[in-house]
Structure 1
Amino acid sequence: MIKAIAVNAANNVAGHFGKAPEFAVYDAQGQLVERMTNSGSKAVGCKHKKQLQRRFGELGVQEIVLGSIGQRSLARLLSAGFVVSQVAARTSIGDVLAGTAHKLNLTEAEQGRPCKREKGDCGCGCGTKKAAAPKIGMMMNTMTRLSGLSGIKLK
C-alpha cells in the first residue's frame, strides 16, 4: 500500500495535515517514492489541501498518515477513497513504516478536529451557503434611503 506521511521539520509525523511542511510518500516496500513540499502550509483556506489530494491521487497513494486533521479535510479525503490513519504527533517515520506505531483509522469526518473558523471564513468558500435573493415583500433595512420614488396616492 502506498502511504503519504505528513512530516515536520524534524522528519517525524507532523501534528496537523494542512500545516505539515512536507509529505513523504513511500511504496509498499517502504522505499521513499517522493517528498512533496506543502507550499500552502501557512496559508488560510482549502485550496492547497485540494492540490495535495490531487497529487496523492496522481501518485497512487492509498493511505495518508498524520497527527491530526480538520473535519472538512478528513471528509474530503474519505470521500475520495483514501484510508486516513492517525498516529501520535512526532512519531518517527521508521515506527510508522515498521508498523510499530499505534494507528487509529479515521472513518468518519466527525473524528477530525472541528473548524476553528466560522463557515466560509477560511476564504475558500467551503461550507458556505449562498445568500438568498431578496423576495418581494421581504423587510428591508429601514435606514436605507430611497430616492427617485414618488409617493403612491390612494383615492
Structure 2
Amino acid sequence: MLRAIAVNAANNVAGHFGKAPEFAVYDAQGQLIERMINSGSKAVGCKHKKQLQRRLSELGVQEIVLGSIGQRSLARLLNAGFVVSQVAARTPVSDVLAGTANKLNLTAAEHGRPCKREKGECGCGCGSKKAAAPKIGMMMNSMSRLSGLSRIKLK
C-alpha cells in the first residue's frame, strides 16, 4: 500500500492539503518512493488540487496523510477511493511512518473545513455554475447600443 504524506520544507506534515509544497510517497515498509512537488501550492482555486489527485492516483497511492483539508477536496478524494487520514500539522514524518502519530480517518466530506469563500466563489467554479463572460472579439448583440461616445476631431 502506498501512502502520500503532505509535507512542508522541514519534512513535517503540512498544515493543508492544497497548500503543501510537496507530497512524499512511501511504500508499506516506509521506504520513500517519490517526492512530488505541488506546483500549485500558492494558487487560488481547485484546478491544482484536481491535478494532485490525478497524479497521486496514477502513482497508485491509496492513503493520503495531511494536516487539514477543505470539504470539497476531501469529498473528491473520498469519492476517488482514497483513505484520507489527518494528523496534527507539523507532526514529524518519522512519527507518521513509525505509527506513533495520532491519526484520525476522515470518512465524510463534513470532516473537512468549510470553504472560506461562500458558495464556491474561489474562482474555479467548484461551488456553482457561472455564466461565461463574453470574450474579446465576440460580436455584440445587434440590439445593444453604444452611448456616450463622441467623435474625435483630428487636425
Within a 5 Å distance, the mapping from 1:81-92 to structure 2 comes to: 81-92=81-92
Within a 5 Å distance, the mapping from 1:43-54 to structure 2 comes to: 43-54=43-54
- Structure 1 runs not aligned, ≥5 long: 132-145, 148-155
CA–CA separation in structure 2 for the residues paired with 1:23 and 1:130: 32
- Compute the TM-score of the two structures, normalised by the length of structure 1: 0.82
Q: Which runs of 4+ in 1 moved over 6 A?
A: none
Q: In the alignment, does 2:6 pair up with 1:6?
A: yes
One-letter amino acid of the structure 1 residue matched with residue 42 of structure 2: K
Counterpart for residue 109 of structure 2: 109
Q: In the alignment, does 2:76 pair up with 1:76?
A: yes
One-letter amino acid of the structure 1 residue matched with residue 52 of structure 2: L
1:52-77 deviation digits (Å, cap 9, x = unpaired): 00011111000000000000000000
CA–CA separation in structure 2 for the residues paired with 1:120 and 1:67: 22
- The count of corresponding residues between Structure 1 and Structure 2 is 133
Counterpart for residue 125 of structure 1: 125
Q: Is the 8 A contact 2:121 2:127 kept in 1?
A: no
Q: Give the drift of 1:120.
A: 3.4
Counterpart for residue 39 of structure 1: 39
Q: Give the drift of 1:119.
A: 2.2
CA–CA separation in structure 1 for the residues paired with 2:71 and 2:24: 22
Tell me the secondary structure at the aligned position of residue 125 of structure 1: coil
One-letter amino acid of the structure 2 residue matched with residue 7 of structure 1: V
Counterpart for residue 30 of structure 2: 30
CA–CA separation in structure 2 for the residues paired with 1:33 and 1:119: 38
Q: Give the drift of 1:121.
A: 1.8
Counterpart for residue 64 of structure 2: 64
- Compute the TM-score of the two structures, normalised by the length of structure 2: 0.82
Q: Give the drift of 1:130.
A: 5.1
- Structure 2 runs not aligned, ≥5 long: 132-143, 146-155
CA–CA separation in structure 2 for the residues paired with 1:64 and 1:120: 24
Counterpart for residue 94 of structure 1: 94
1:110-132 deviation digits (Å, cap 9, x = unpaired): 0000000022321111110456x
Tell me the secondary structure at the aligned position of residue 119 of structure 1: helix
CA–CA separation in structure 1 for the residues paired with 2:77 and 2:30: 22
